[in-house]
Amino acid sequence: MNKQITLAARPVGNPLPSDFSLEETPIPVPQEGEVLVKTLYLSLDPAMRGWMNDSRSYIKPVQIGEVFRAGTAGVVVESQSPDFKVGDYVTGGWGVQQYGVCLPNTLVKVDTKLAPLPVYLGVLGMPGMTAYFGILDTGQPKAGETVVVSGAAGAVGGVVGQIAKLMGCRVVGLAGGKDKCDYCVNEMGFDACIDYKTEDVKQALREACPKGIDVYFDNVGGEILDIVLGQIRFKARIVICGAISQYNNTEGVKGPTNYLSLLVNRARMEGIVVFDNAANYGKAAKEMAGWMMEGKLKSKIHIEKGIENFHASLMKLFKGENFGKLVLQVGEE
Amino acid sequence: MNKQITLAARPVGNPLPSDFSLEETPIPVPQEGEVLVKTLYLSLDPAMRGWMNDSRSYIKPVQIGEVFRAGTAGVVVESQSPDFKVGDYVTGGWGVQQYGVCLPNTLVKVDTKLAPLPVYLGVLGMPGMTAYFGILDTGQPKAGETVVVSGAAGAVGGVVGQIAKLMGCRVVGLAGGKDKCDYCVNEMGFDACIDYKTEDVKQALREACPKGIDVYFDNVGGEILDIVLGQIRFKARIVICGAISQYNNTEGVKGPTNYLSLLVNRARMEGIVVFDNAANYGKAAKEMAGWMMEGKLKSKIHIEKGIENFHASLMKLFKGENFGKLVLQVGEE
């Protein structure tokens, strides 16, 4: 049988276990041209919270009763396509289920000798692409500038910070907890990392960024965005990648009250969505794989297990309990 | 004697008459190299509210006891400089006083045969420059796009809308009152203008911008900024020029709660300050003067009189009681 997680109800505030339903259906049979893939890992992403809402966004909402959308990695177990053979490792987006029938053009073959499979949901997947294009194309960091990134120990933030270091910037992270901050500084080479749970962020940021902030890559929104806006420099760039602090906010999103700092500093705030760069994923993945080989780009994966634990595992993102790219292992080879 | 308005106290919320002081001092005597100018018109600008606050901004705050800063236009009455002669008309920034002693490099000679003197505080002055560079360089309007401007009947907004029309855009204004809206449509050629005081802005904007909004030039902030953010298109540009609705807000600035629309639409919000374009004022003024000659760029001046009425006249801006560029006439030729 094929276990699936479907959306049972649209959450208000924090998603509840009852907003999802575990279904069992027969393992589907691939038709001519199709491929049956066994899911090994699912990507758990903050963006999933947005897909639960019935509102206009950059992608269609998941419908009630539909298998929940997810980035996926797995192994081909049956193929009716000449492009794939049994045993091929692939990534795609066949959702939160143990097996998926896919069209070849929705799958990407990956090389697990180059990097472990979950890395293709992290640095070499959507989070890595988000970081790469967001910081380089929109953040436009220049050597000597100060770059601040929130969610610094997360899947996107860690890559953003390491790429900014490669560009010659001073990099300051914001993360929750001493372990994460130590990891950013000691393993990923950040110049500093502020523990937003225990430190006075305003003061700590001022000390870590004595010249002010040139680029801010924002994954969290809320109070921290406002504090950063108060410390930006002339012609600063603020990349809006996400706002995880606001996604479950039932009182409406907190807008940045310091937004007029954009005027004072002739600064720019710009939103990004990774899909716009699809044509250039290959080039970016190649460059990042190169950095990984050279030891210049590190990647941490946080693995949870069992499709039954989808909801509980996802909630770790919103509680800040993940450490590195969060994936759910739902199958064994 | 030389009547001057000095800053007596820093306002909290709305500026009060008691925040200013009317002083009388002897008319100053120009030294070698200096020029004595008689003030004919003062520019009254929303930005003046910011200069009253003791906070870091794009320009130093006015100090208590100091003559209040203002853009000025007048006539040379005594010259110790070979560059100026008595009778020359000039603009500068010698502040809210009847006479100013100025260094030649702070003055610009203007031709009152080309346009009446107050126009050099409007379309051919800082508001015109703000509009020109803000809409063209930061807004980057393309033919066929929809451009929305708030404060549409004001000194900056009116020019923004007319330039956007010249670029081939659909232009929708937001202004307070039927007279102002009629003026925008009938005199300045806007495609539509919404009376924010009496209309349902959200609904009216949706009807006036059926394809959504590509460029928003914001002079007001607050609720209207949020409504616009909810109706922007893919890759929209939001030019933050001002936020007059928030300047006297004692409860802190209202941040744009819809800012995540920047992410959804991969849109950009960017602040501008006119001074950054100083090197190109001449070129812009020449192009705008050309448009004025051809009848393509109209200008409306709202004249109040008497330096004693500085506070009351300035407050008209915040009450939306001005209609066109607001100037204070403080002297006669």
pLDDT computed for residue B267 by the predictor:
98
Residues in chain B closer than 8 A to A270 (CB atoms): 262, 266-269
CB contact under 8 A, B263 and A241: yes
* Smallest CA–CA distance from B244 into chain A, residue: A260
CB contact under 8 A, A260 and B246: yes
Are β-strands B72-79 and B89-92 bridged in parallel, bridged antiparallel, or unpaired?
Answer: antiparallel
Of all residues in chain A, the percent with pLDDT exceeding 90 is: 94
What is the value of ipTM here, to two decimals? 0.93
- To the nearest whole Å, the CA of B100 is away from the closest chain A CA by 28
Of all residues in chain B, the percent with pLDDT exceeding 90 is: 94
Question: Residue A2, Cβ neighbours under 10 Å: how many?
Answer: 19
Interface size A-B, in CB pairs within 8 Å, comes to 109
CATH of domain B2-122+300-329: 3.90.180.10
Minimum-distance CB partner of A256 among B259, B261, B267: B259
CB contact under 8 A, B258 and A258: no
pLDDT computed for residue A290 by the predictor:
95
Q: Tell me: the pLDDT tens digits for A231-276?
A: 999 999 999 999 999 988 888 889 999 999 999 999 999 999 999 9
pLDDT reading at A161 higher than 90: yes
pLDDT reading at B191 higher than 90: yes
CB contact under 8 A, A259 and B246: no
- To the nearest whole Å, the CA of A288 is away from the closest chain B CA by 24
pLDDT reading at A333 higher than 90: no
Q: Does A235 touch chain B (CB under 8 A)?
A: no
pLDDT computed for residue B251 by the predictor:
84
pLDDT computed for residue B249 by the predictor:
87
Minimum-distance CB partner of A266 among B221, B267, B276: B276
Question: Residue B282, Cβ neighbours under 10 Å: how many?
Answer: 10
Minimum-distance CB partner of B273 among A221, A252, A266: A266
Find the mean pLDDT for residues A108-136: 96
- To the nearest whole Å, the CA of B81 is away from the closest chain A CA by 36
**Comparing C-alpha atoms, which of A240, A296, A301 is closest to residue A271?**
A240
How remote is the C-alpha of A277 from its chain's centroid? Answer: 15
pLDDT reading at B79 higher than 90: yes
pLDDT reading at B56 higher than 90: no
Find the mean pLDDT for residues A80-96: 97
CATH 3.40.50.11540 matches A2-122+299-329:
no
Best of A59, A254, A259 to disrupt the B interface (most B CBs within 10 Å) is: A259
Written in H, E and C, the secondary structure of chain A is CEEEEEECCCCCCCCCHHHEEEEEECCCCCCCCCEEEEEEEEECCCHHHHHCCCCCCCCCCCCCCCECCCCEEEEEEEECCCCCCCCCEEEECCCCECEEEECHHHCEECCCCCCCHHHHHCCCCHHHHHHHHHHHHHHCCCCCCEEEEECCCCHHHHHHHHHHHHCCCEEEEEECCHHHHHHHHHHCCCCEEEECCCCCHHHHHHHHCCCCEEEEEECCCHHHHHHHHCCEEEEEEEEECCCCCCCCCCCCCCCCCCCCHHHHCCCEEEECCHHHHHHHHHHHHHHHHHHHHCCCCCCCEEEEECHHHHHHHHHHHHHCCCCCEEEEECCCC
**Comparing C-alpha atoms, which of B292, B287, B282, B328 is closest to residue B308?**
B328
d(CA B240, CA B246): 13
d(CA B233, CA B282): 34
pLDDT averaged over every residue in chain B: 96
Are β-strands A35-43 and A99-102 bridged in parallel, bridged antiparallel, or unpaired?
Answer: antiparallel
Are β-strands B170-175 and B99-102 bridged in parallel, bridged antiparallel, or unpaired?
Answer: unpaired
Going by pLDDT thresholds of 50, 70 and 90, the confidence category of residue B333 is confident
Find the mean pLDDT for residues B221-229: 97
CB contact under 8 A, B267 and A272: no
Question: Residue A197, Cβ neighbours under 10 Å: how many?
Answer: 13
CB contact under 8 A, B268 and A265: no
d(CA A227, CA A220): 12
Residues in chain B closer than 8 A to A269 (CB atoms): 259, 262, 268-270
How remote is the C-alpha of B323 from its chain's centroid? Answer: 12
pLDDT reading at B250 higher than 90: no
pLDDT reading at B3 higher than 90: yes
d(CA B160, CA B156): 6
Q: Tell me: the pLDDT tens digits for A38-55?
A: 999 999 999 999 999 998
Q: Does A56 touch chain B (CB under 8 A)?
A: yes
Q: Tell me: the pLDDT tens digits for A55-85?
A: 888 899 999 999 999 999 999 999 999 999 9
- To the nearest whole Å, the CA of B263 is away from the closest chain A CA by 4
pLDDT reading at B306 higher than 90: yes
Tokens standing for residue B138: 């930061």
Q: From 3.80.30.20, 3.90.1210.10, 3.20.20.70, 3.40.50.720, which CATH number describes the B126-275 domain? A: 3.40.50.720
Contacts of B295 (CB under 8 A, 6+ apart): none
DSSP B314-325: HHHHHHT---SE
DSSP B63-119: PTTSBPP--EEEEEEEE-STT--TT-EEEE---SBSEEEE-GGG-EE--TTTS-GGG
Distances (CA, A) of A171 to A19, A174, B218: 39, 10, 33
Q: Which helix (H) or strand (E) holds B158?
A: helix B155-166
Minimum-distance CB partner of B272 among A241, A252, A266: A266
CB contact under 8 A, B259 and A259: yes
d(CA A124, CA A129): 7
Residues in chain A closer than 8 A to B273 (CB atoms): 263-264, 266
Collapsing DSSP to helix, strand or coil, B195 comes out as: strand
* Smallest CA–CA distance from B277 into chain A, residue: A266
pTM: 0.94
C-beta of residue A167 within 8 angstroms of C-beta of residue A287: no
* Smallest CA–CA distance from A247 into chain B, residue: B260
pLDDT computed for residue A56 by the predictor:
85
Best of A232, A248, A260 to disrupt the B interface (most B CBs within 10 Å) is: A260
Tokens standing for residue A311: 């909801």
Q: Tell me: the pLDDT tens digits for A165-191?
A: 999 999 999 999 999 999 999 999 999
Tokens standing for residue B73: 């236009």
Q: Which B-chain residues 251-290 have CB contacts (< 8 A) with chain A?
A: 252-273, 276
d(CA A158, CA A174): 10
d(CA A269, CA B271): 9
pLDDT computed for residue A251 by the predictor:
84
pLDDT computed for residue B252 by the predictor:
83
Tokens standing for residue A162: 């390491």
Q: Does A242 touch chain B (CB under 8 A)?
A: yes
* Structural domain boundaries in chain A: 2-122+299-329, 126-275
d(CA A297, CA A159): 7
Residues in chain B closer than 8 A to A57 (CB atoms): 264
